[in-house]
Each structure stands twice: as structure tokens, then as C-alpha cells.
Amino acid sequence: MNGEEILYLSYIRSNTDKFISIVNSKTGDVIYSLYRPMSYNFSDKDMKIIQEDIED
């Protein structure tokens, strides 16, 4: 990996809510964050939302 910048996705579910974030492993900066109330498991729809938000 030799100092490469790696982005990782973090998904946390709390009862009926979910929190999704994308973090830069090199800096620790959260570069994207999404909170979805009344939503359960991570889904394809979440990836589509993230993709659309990042492309904007």
C-alpha cells in the first residue's frame, strides 16, 4: 500500500436508523456522511444515493 490513499465505507445501524460514512484512511477525514432514519440494512439504493451525491 506504500502510503496510498484508501477510502473505506463505514456502516452503522442503530435500531431503525443507519449511518454511512466514507473515510480517507491516510488522513482520517470523513469525506462523505449520510444519515437515513427509519431505514434498516445497507442496500443497493444506498450505493446509488452515495454515487449520485459524489458525482454532483
**Residue 31 covered by a domain:** yes
- C-alpha cell recorded at residue 37: 432514519
Cα–Cα distance for residue pair 33/1, rounded to 1 Å: 25
Average per-residue pLDDT for the chain: 91
- C-alpha cell recorded at residue 48: 446509488
Cα–Cα distance for residue pair 15/40, rounded to 1 Å: 8
Q: Which domain holds residue 31?
A: 7-55
Higher pLDDT, 54 or 11: 11
**Residue 1 covered by a domain:** no
How many domains does the chain fold into? 1
**Residue 18 covered by a domain:** yes
Residue 40 scores a pLDDT above 90:
no
Cα–Cα distance for residue pair 45/5, rounded to 1 Å: 26
| pTM assigned to the model | 0.77
pLDDT band for position 1 (50/70/90)? Answer: low
Residue 12 scores a pLDDT above 90:
yes
Contact 39, 16 (CB under 8 A): yes
Q: What is the mean pLDDT of residues 26-43?
A: 92
